[in-house]
Chain A
C-alpha cells in the first residue's frame, strides 16, 4: 500500500529540486490511476445494479454488462408487481417512530450519564456499553416470548416500542457528545436556578445538536436497514413487511424478473443517499466524537 501514501510537498532542500518535476508527474499519474481504479472497484457493483435494472427481462439474465435497450419503465413496473408503497409505509413507520422514541428516551439518559454525578453512574455506563455489544439475536428468545404473550408478534411494535425506553448505542453516542459540552455551562444554569430538566432542554440539547443529528441518522439507517428484526416478528405477515424484507422475497417471488429486483434495490437506496448527502458532516463527526473524546 506504500504507493498510496500521501505525496508530501517535496522538501525545500536543493538536491531534490531537479528531479521534482519528473517525480511530480509520476506521482500525479499514479495517484489518479489508483484513485480511479479503487473508486471503480467499489462503485462498479452499484453501477451494475443500475445497468441491470434498465435491461429487458431476458437480457438481465445474460452476462451482458451494457443494456442494448434502456427500459426505464422497469422502475414503474416494480411498483405494479409488489405493494411497494405499503412496504415503504411500514419501513417509514418503523424508522421514524423508532428515531423519535430514541430521542425521547436517550437524551435524558445521556444527560444523566454525562452531566449528573450520582453513585453507581460508572457502573450504569458500563452496563450501557455492555448492552451495546449485545447482539440482538442473543436476547431474541425471551423478548419474542414476551411479545408473543402480549399478542404483538406479527406487527412491527415489538421493534418500535423498545426505542421509547432505551437504545444502548444512541445513549452511548449522545453521552460522548454531551461530555464535550463544558461543565461550566451546566453549572451556570444551575446557579441561575434551572432545574436539571431545564438545564438539559435549554443548554445541553441546543449545544449537542450535531450529536443529536448524527445519532438520529445512525438510528434511522440502522432501523431502515434492519432485516433480522422484521424477519423475526413479521416474517409470516406480508402486510407488515418492511422494504428490506420485501426485497429479499421479491427475488424469490418474481424469479423471472431479475431486472425489477434490481430496480427495487435502487429505490430502497434513495432515502439513505438523500439522508447521507444532507448529514454527511455530522455523521462523520458523530462517529469520531464517540471514541476520541473519552
Chain B
C-alpha cells in the first residue's frame, strides 16, 4: 500500500532483488513449500471470514432479544446508520478525535524529538520522563486523567490552579469542571498525552538516522538552522511522520478505553467503537452494530488514503530535488 510507494532512501539497494533461480519442476517446488501452506490458508480464512460475516450480518435484521424476527433487511441498517442522529454524530466524533490526536501528538512529538536530538546534560532523565505516559496501561491512563487530573475537588489541575492563585494571595481560584465543560478536549488531551511519546520515539529514530555529512555540508555552506530543518531534516522525516500518522490512526480510530472511561460516551464524545459496543450490548441490534462497523472501516480507509496523499503531495517536490 502507501507504505510501499514511499521513495526508498538513497542508501537502500535492496530493491534490485535478483530474479529467483528457477527451481526444478513446479510440483517439487510446491512440495518444499507444503509445510507453510496451513499457515497461509489460516491467514486468508482468519483475516477475512469475520469481516465477510460482519458484511453479511450488516444486511440482516437481527436483534438478539427478538430471535424469531431475523431475516434479510437490505440496506435498512445502513440507512439507520446514516440517518440516526446519534450514529451520525459518532462518525463525526471519531474523525475529529482521530485527526486531532494524531496531528497534535505528531507536532508535539516532533518538537520533543528535535529537543532530545541535541546534547544536553540530563537528556537521559528527560527522555525517561517523556516516555512514562506511553508505559501506562491505557485504561489506567484514562482513569488517571478522569479522577486524578480532571476531578474538580481533588484533581491535579485544580490543585495547581489553587496553588498558583494562592501564590498571588487569591482565595477563590477558578475551579472548572473540566470533563463536563470541555468533554471532547478532555478526551483528546488524555490521548495526546499517551501518544506523544510514541510519535517522539519514531521521529527520534528518524532524526538519528539522518545522514549527518549532508547536514554538516549545509552548515559549512552557510545554511541557517531553519533552512537545514526545512530542506534536509523535514524531507528525511517525511516517511517517519507518515508512519507515525498511520500507526497512530489505526489505533486511535479504534480507541475505546478513553471514551468509555472518561465520559462513558456522554456529552457528544461517543465515537464509533463505543457506539458499536453500545448498539451490540445494550440495544442488542447485531445488524446495526455490524453496519456501523463496516462504515468505520470504509471511513478510516478513505481518511487514511486521503491524509497520506495530502501529506506526501506537500513534500513531493523536495524529495525529488
Contact present for B137 and A225 (CB under 8 Å): yes
Residues of chain A contacted by B297 (CB below 8 angstroms): 133-135, 138
Interface size of B in residues (CB-CB distance below 8 Å): 117
Judge whether A14 is part of the interface by a CB distance below 8 angstroms: no
Contact present for B54 and A141 (CB under 8 Å): yes
Whole-angstrom distance between the alpha carbons of A32 and B123 in the complex? Answer: 9
Residues of chain A contacted by B129 (CB below 8 angstroms): 39-40, 42-43
Name A's interface SS. Answer: helix
Residue of A117, A124, A262 touching B44 (CB-CB under 8 A): A124
Whole-angstrom distance between the alpha carbons of A27 and B149 in the complex? Answer: 33
- Within A93-143, which residues are at the interface with B (CB < 8 Å)? 105, 108-109, 111-112, 116-118, 124, 126-143
Judge whether A90 is part of the interface by a CB distance below 8 angstroms: no
Contact present for A225 and B138 (CB under 8 Å): yes
Contact present for B20 and A117 (CB under 8 Å): yes
Contact present for B39 and A291 (CB under 8 Å): no
Whole-angstrom distance between the alpha carbons of A174 and B69 in the complex? Answer: 46
Judge whether A247 is part of the interface by a CB distance below 8 angstroms: yes
Contact present for B57 and A46 (CB under 8 Å): no
Interface size of A in residues (CB-CB distance below 8 Å): 110
Given A46-B136, A166-B42, does the pair A139, B293 have CB atoms closer than 8 Å?
Answer: yes
Beta-carbon nearest neighbor of A179 in chain B: B14
Interface Cβ pair total, 8 Å cutoff:
309
Whole-angstrom distance between the alpha carbons of A284 and B113 in the complex? Answer: 13
Residue of B132, B153, B240, B273 touching A137 (CB-CB under 8 A): B273
Judge whether A253 is part of the interface by a CB distance below 8 angstroms: no
Contact present for B36 and A111 (CB under 8 Å): yes
Q: Identify the stretch in B81-89, B179-187, B245-253, B310-318 within 8 Å (CB) of chain A at 4 or more residues.
A: B245-253
Judge whether B167 is part of the interface by a CB distance below 8 angstroms: no
Judge whether B296 is part of the interface by a CB distance below 8 angstroms: yes
- Within A6-51, which residues are at the interface with B (CB < 8 Å)? 6-9, 11-13, 28, 31-32, 34-36, 38-40, 42-46, 48-49
Contact present for B43 and A129 (CB under 8 Å): no
Q: When A and B form their complex, which 8 residue pairs have the shortest distance between CB atoms, in order from nearest?
A: A291-B243, A138-B293, A135-B254, A142-B53, A43-B129, A139-B50, A63-B159, A39-B129
| Interface residues, chain B, with chain A CB atoms under 8 Å away | 1, 3-6, 8-9, 12, 14, 17-18, 20-21, 23, 32-33, 35-36, 39-40, 42-44, 46-48, 50-51, 53-54, 57, 107, 110-112, 114-115, 117-118, 120-123, 125-126, 129-140, 143-145, 147-149, 153-156, 158-160, 162-163, 193, 196-197, 201-202, 204-206, 209, 215, 219-220, 222, 225-226, 228-229, 239-240, 242-243, 246-247, 250, 253-254, 256-257, 260-261, 272-273, 276-277, 280, 286, 289-290, 293-294, 296-297, 300-301, 304
